Amino acid sequence: MLDQVDISGMGPRRIGRLAAFDGLMLEATGFQQPIGANARVIDADGHAALAEVVGFRGDRTLLMALDADAPHSCGARVEPDRRGTKVDVGEGLLGRVVDALGNPLDGLGPIATKSRWPLAGRRGNPLDRARVVEPFDLGVRAVNALLTAGVGQRIAIMAGSGVGKSVLMGQMIAGADADVIVVGLIGERSREVSDFLATKLSGEVRGKSVVVAVPADHPPLLRLRAAMRATAIAEHFRAQGKRVLLLIDSLTRVAHAQREIGLSLGEPPTMKGYPPSALGLIPRLVERAGADARSGGSITALYTVLADGDDTDDPIVDTARAIVDGHIVLSRALAEQGVFPAIDVGKSLSRVMADIVGADHAAAARTLRRLWSAYEENRDLILMGAYREGSDPMIDAAIAHHPLILDFLRQGQKERIDMNVAIATLIGSFGA
């Protein structure tokens, strides 16, 4: 049955009815709205819950509930929600913490914004994307010297659970040379959100930061929207010509959310149960970051990627590694030795480093990498005592320099190392 409600100045508004609900997916009849449109499901007692159109099945519209605990009843009214697919953006967001729908979580009152930006971003011309030619100081010695980042680069931080991804992100936030910092905390424990704000976004950094937080117990659509909202906010500031640092923790949780949505819509599971839409989401999200040649602004993006079971060939890890401009792999073995940040130099790479560093810097970084590789390839022989000193000059040098390399990688959580200092230290220890 289809109701029509006449609103002055707007014409008839189509009202549908809830016909089915299986705990995550709602089916409505008589509700003809495009994919991505918002809706309100109003039960007989007047309780209203938000949902989003995600697909169609015959003449029924499929919606994903944004409130998993809503007491829906058969025949409930389904009305269009005017908030649509745009998000509020502006200077008023700086220093604030919001949820996936833009509601403030910090208890500081309403957020005054004057602009709106598409949640899914604005599709641009690839030729408007500027090259990465300027170094970006992240305040971490090993990253600045060995994996030098550039303004507009997209970097994935890959590791298993409990190896220090969030800690490394906190160090980069404190040391980053950015006008605006946008953080998306997606699918993490609620305790970690307050801990992140207290320990990693305190002081002056908080005033230029925007945090979008959606814990793990929220519906998958909200987790997905949080990543898209954080990216949309970063795009708005980039369009104003600002240098933005975007951090998404974690990209894997975003893919998990899309997996839940895709499987609910009947998509076939492929590798490790991921439907095609979950793997296709990653390039769509990551490609929105980068430098803009028209505005002069940039989004330098960091994405944490959880390697389930420390499997670096996991589909999400592999997909992310293929689309980003560099990746930092954290080693559990180094973490167990007390080396933090536990960066595996041999497996990590910055694809833009060759374009933004000098010849002396590049040569010193190559020397350290060769020494690291020689030691790792012969680690078992060295630790067993099977290697005889003098058999290979490179291995001898690797053994002699290994403690120096580990000291170079180590850095305290609250310690900030300027890029020039990091480069000078690298060249002084491993230069020609």
Q: Measure Cα distances from 153 to 126, 183, 272, 422 in Å.
A: 15, 16, 29, 20
Q: Is 415 helix (H, G, I), strand (E, B) or coil?
A: coil
pTM for this model (two decimals) = 0.90
**Those residues with Cβ within 8 angstroms of residue 9's Cβ, 6 or more apart along the chain or in another chain:** none
- pLDDT at res. 426: 97
Output 162-165 pairs: Cβ under 8 A, ≥24 positions apart.
162/335, 163/330, 163/331, 163/332, 163/335, 163/342, 164/330, 164/335, 164/340, 164/341, 164/342, 165/249, 165/250, 165/304, 165/306, 165/330
Q: What is the pLDDT of residues 3-13, one digit of tens each?
A: 444 444 455 66
Q: How many CB atoms lie within 10 A of CB 401?
A: 19
Q: What is the pLDDT of residues 261-286, one digit of tens each?
A: 999 888 999 888 899 999 999 999 99
Alpha-carbon distance of 163 to 341, in angstroms, equals: 9
Output DSSP code: residue 93: G
Output DSSP code: residue 400: H
Pairing status of strand 135-136 against strand 154-159: unpaired
Query: Which residue type is seen at 254?
Result: V
Burial 318-329 (b: 16+ CB within 10 A, else e): ebbbeebbbbbb
Roughly how many angstroms between the first and final C-alpha of the chain, as a whole number? 80
Burial 282-294 (b: 16+ CB within 10 A, else e): beebbebbbbbbe
Which domains does the chain carry?
A: 16-80 (2.40.10.170), 86-356 (3.40.50.12240), 360-430 (1.20.1270.330)
Query: Which residue type is seen at 233?
Result: I
Helix/strand/coil (H/E/C) assignment for every residue in 20-88: EECCCEEEEECCCCCCCCEEEEECCCCCEEEEEEEEEECCEEEEEECCCCCCCCCCCEEEECCCCCEEE
Give, for all 432 residues of the chain, the pLDDT tens digit. 344 444 444 556 678 999 998 877 899 999 988 888 889 999 878 888 889 999 999 999 999 888 767 778 888 999 998 766 789 999 999 999 999 999 999 999 999 998 999 998 998 888 999 999 999 999 999 999 999 999 999 999 999 888 888 889 888 998 888 999 999 999 888 888 888 888 888 888 999 999 999 998 898 999 999 999 999 999 999 999 999 999 999 899 999 999 999 998 889 998 888 999 999 999 999 999 999 999 999 999 999 999 877 777 889 999 999 999 999 999 999 999 999 999 999 999 999 999 999 999 999 999 999 999 999 999 999 989 898 899 999 999 999 999 999 999 999 988 999 999 999 999 999 986
Q: Measure Cα distances from 171 to 143, 203, 204, 258 in Å.
A: 11, 14, 14, 29
Q: If residue 236 lies in a helix (H) or strand (E), which one and from where to where?
A: helix 220-239
Is 251 within 8 Å of 308 (Cβ atoms)?
A: no
Output DSSP code: residue 309: G
Is 253 within 8 Å of 216 (Cβ atoms)?
A: yes
- pLDDT at res. 289: 97
Alpha-carbon distance of 227 to 247, in angstroms, equals: 10
In a 13 Å sphere around the CA of 342, the CA atoms on its Cβ side amount to 20
